[in-house]
Structure 1
Amino acid sequence: MHDTIHTRRPCILQFLCTYLNEDCKKLIKTYLNTDSEANSCMEQTVMGVYVISKEGAEPEDDPEGNGVLIEGVGAPSGLGNIAQAGALVCGLIYCLNLS
C-alpha cells in the first residue's frame, strides 16, 4: 500500500473518532456497489459520510462514489475522499446550526 496523504487522512479521521470514544462506523458508512440494501440504509442515516466501493477494490483504490447524508438526504457527492466529506459535514453542522 502506498503511504500518501490521501491514505493518511481517512486514518486520522478514524483515529479521531476512536480517541473521542465515538463509534467510527456511525460516522463513516461503507457500502459495496453491489449492495441492494444500501439505499434503504442511507435513508435511515441521521448524519454521516457514505462511501461506495467497488467489489474487490483495494483500500488505496478510489471509491466509486462518496458524499454526505443528513437525515437521509444526500448532499453533493463525488467529493474525492473521506476527508473532504468529513470537512463538509463539519461545515454543514456549522452553517445549518445543527446540535
Structure 2
Amino acid sequence: MVRMKMEKTISYRRYELVHDAPIIRDFQARWPALFDVSEINAEFKRITTMPLQSRFLSQLDVLSDRLVKLFEKRGRQIGKRLQSIMADMSQDDDVDVGRECVLKGLCVYLNEDPENLVREYTAEDEGLNRGAIEETTLGICVVKHTDATDGPEDIGIVLEGQVVLHDLDNVALAAAMLFGLMYALNLNYPPELNSFEVLQKVVMELDGNTLSKKAQALKNRLHQ
C-alpha cells in the first residue's frame, strides 16, 4: 500500500523539491516512507528507470580491478595514501571491505579527502559525535567501539546535520543509498566530492555524455 501511494504521489514530491527546496528535516517529516532502503531504490527507479542498489554494486565490482590498477600506478603522496588503503583491501577478502576500499581510493585518486564521504566515530564519544554530525552537510557515518574486533555498531547517512538513515549493512550499500537520496531529494553534489560525478557518469553510466576534465581523464584511463 505504501509503495502504491508513493508511486501516485511522486509528482507532488518532485514539485515540492524543485519549487520549495525544503530543508531535509521538514521533508522527512512530510514523506517519512521515502527514507527507507527499499523506497530509495524504488524512487531512484521511478526517476531514472534504472535499478539503484544492484547496478551500483555490480558496476563497482566490474570496475574494481581496473581502478585498483590505476591506484597502484599513482605516485608521490597520493600514491602512498592509496597504498595504505589498498593494504586494508589485500588483508581482508570480504567483498564489502573491498568495495569500501575502492570507494575511499577513488576519493584519494581524485585528490579528495575520503573523510568527506565516510567518517568514523567512536561509540563511546556520543556527545562529540552529535556535534560533529550536526556540522556535516552530507556523508556516511560509521560508529565503532574503541576495542571492537567485529564490524561497526552502526552505519548511517547524514544529510544537513542529521542522520536520516541508519542500520545499513556496509559502507558500499550506504554509498549507494546516499547516491540514490541525492537523486530522490534533488541535491547538488558537494564541491569537495567530485567523486560523485564519477559514480554517476562513469560507474552508473547516467548522463555520461558531458564530463568534467577530471572525470573524463579517469574514464579514458579506465578504458585504455
Q: Does 1:55 align with 2:146?
A: yes
The structure, 1 or 2, with the larger RCO (C-alpha pairs under 8 Å, 6+ apart) is: 1
Q: Which has the larger radius of gyration?
A: 2
Matched, 1:27 2:110: no
Query: 1:79 maps to which residue?
Result: 168
Instruction: Return the TM-score normalized by structure 1.
Output: 0.90
2:165 alignment partner, SS class: coil
% identical aligned pairs: 37
Comparing both structures, which one devotes a greater share of its residues to helix? 2
Q: Which aligned runs of 4 or more in structure 1 are off by greater than 2 angstroms?
A: none
Q: Which residue of structure 2 lines up, in the alignment, with residue 37 of structure 1?
A: 128
For residues 24 and 2 of structure 1, the distance between their equivalents in structure 2, rounded to whole angstroms, comes to: 19
| Match of residue 178, structure 2, among 82, 89, 92 | 89
Q: Does 1:5 align with 2:95?
A: yes
Q: How far does residue 85 in structure 1 lie from its aligned partner after superposition? A: 0.7
Quote how far apart the aligned CAs of 1:81 are: 0.6
**Per residue, is there more strand in 1 or in 2?**
1
Following superposition, the deviation at residue 49 of structure 1 comes to 0.3
Deviations 1:7-57 (A, max 9, x none): 101101101111222111111110011113101110110000000001122
Deviations 1:42-89 (A, max 9, x none): 01100000000011224xx31001100000121220111111111111
Larger mean Cα displacement after TM superposition, 1-10 or 66-75: 1-10
- Which whole-Å CA distance do the structure 2 matches of 1:63 and 1:87 have between them? 18
Report the equivalent of 2:159.
Answer: 70
- Consecutive unaligned residues of structure 1, counting only runs of 5 or more, are none
